[in-house]
Amino acid sequence: MSAATGDAVQAGAVGQSARTAVSAGGPITGRGAGTIIIDDPLKATAGQSDVERDHVNDWFDQNVLQRLDDKVTGAIILVIQRLHENDLTGHLLAKGGWTHLKLAAGAEEDEVHQLPDGRTIRRAVGEALHPAREPADVLAQIQREIGSYNFAGQYQQEPAPREGGLVRADWFPRQSSDGVSFELVAQSWDTAHKTGEHNDWSVCTTWGRTSDNRYFLLDVHRAKLVFPDLIARCRALYQRHRPHIVLVEDGANGTSLIQALRHEGQVPVRAVRPEGDKETRLILLTGVIESGQVILPPAAPWIDEFLLEITRFPRARHDDQVDSFTQGLNWIWRRTVHAFW
């Protein structure tokens, strides 16, 4: 197993010059092959989804493994970028019996590879895999852009363990927003379903985007609110910060809040439907966070609780601040003030 890109399963029939290609998860019942090549069965955006990973792993166990015409001389080759500890590579390595060829973009230790024709390939620690296409300085830039978590899996073939958390507290620079000019200000609401002791909170994060693409987290407001109080709090926070837009997740209490605010016509509300699961939404933003573009104030009463939750996610007891954070940052990161207007 090694790392590359693609999404097809190809099967060549024994004794024939033929090839059949299907998408990963597609029907191959009744077809046999001497060699089966599986090329990146998971999209990068699906790698953090338990459902998507389990679907591919089950498809392999129940369909692909039995398709070899000769179980002794036949071969299955998996070419994949690592997206999760339990992606198809991790799934098969846990079972055992596979030859694992790991090709990291940058060597993390001195490597020696013995080829079948007798040649020996050596690579020193830090040496790029293909310096003509991706030299070390280019790899370093890619790591800064996509974040260490994504780079570890997709380029180094070492998916970071979930237990370590996805975001570190020292990735957030501290700076006062006093005197800073913002091109766009947005608020992001994640509303709780219930207000019981053990339920999540309703959270509003307020964001400011500068012309040089820095994202200031200006405020985090967190409370357990019954619906009438939720509407009143939304109005009050809008009046306090005067954002250009108020984002509300379109679901449960959020849907009712959107309808109430639109009826009043005082708050510029926009319904948002999140894409992907909670972990995926944060992982897609780790690059911009790790690069130091997301800035916290030097001091605020909400900072300790916010950092505790986001650095422990997904193991934290609550994730409401993370939900509001990813919704707001994703929206404001993808838009300029010109695109908004």
Q: What pLDDT, in 10s, does the model give residues 11-34?
A: 554 445 677 787 777 777 777 888
Residue 197's pLDDT band (cuts 50, 70, 90): very low
10 Å Cβ neighbour count for 320?
A: 18
Q: What is the CATH number of domain 169-340?
A: 3.30.420.240
Look at phi and psi of residue 126 and say left if phi exceeds 0, alpha if psi is from -120 to 50, else beta: left
* Pairing verdict, β 75-79 and 8-12: unpaired
Element of type H or E holding 23: strand 20-23
* pLDDT of 53 over the 70 cut: yes
Beta strand spans in 51-201 (E): 75-79, 111-114, 120-123, 184-190
Helix (H, G, I), strand (E, B) or coil at 263: helix
Q: What pLDDT, in 10s, does the model give residues 139-183?
A: 999 988 887 777 888 898 887 654 457 899 899 999 999 999 999
pLDDT at 109 (0 to 100) = 85
Helix (H, G, I), strand (E, B) or coil at 166: coil
Locate the domains of the chain by residue range. Answer: 8-101, 169-340
Task: Kindly compute the dihedral angle of the four CA atoms of residues 261, 263, 266, 271, in this order, to the nearest 10 degrees.
Answer: 40
Q: What pLDDT, in 10s, does the model give residues 264-293?
A: 998 999 999 988 888 889 999 999 999 999
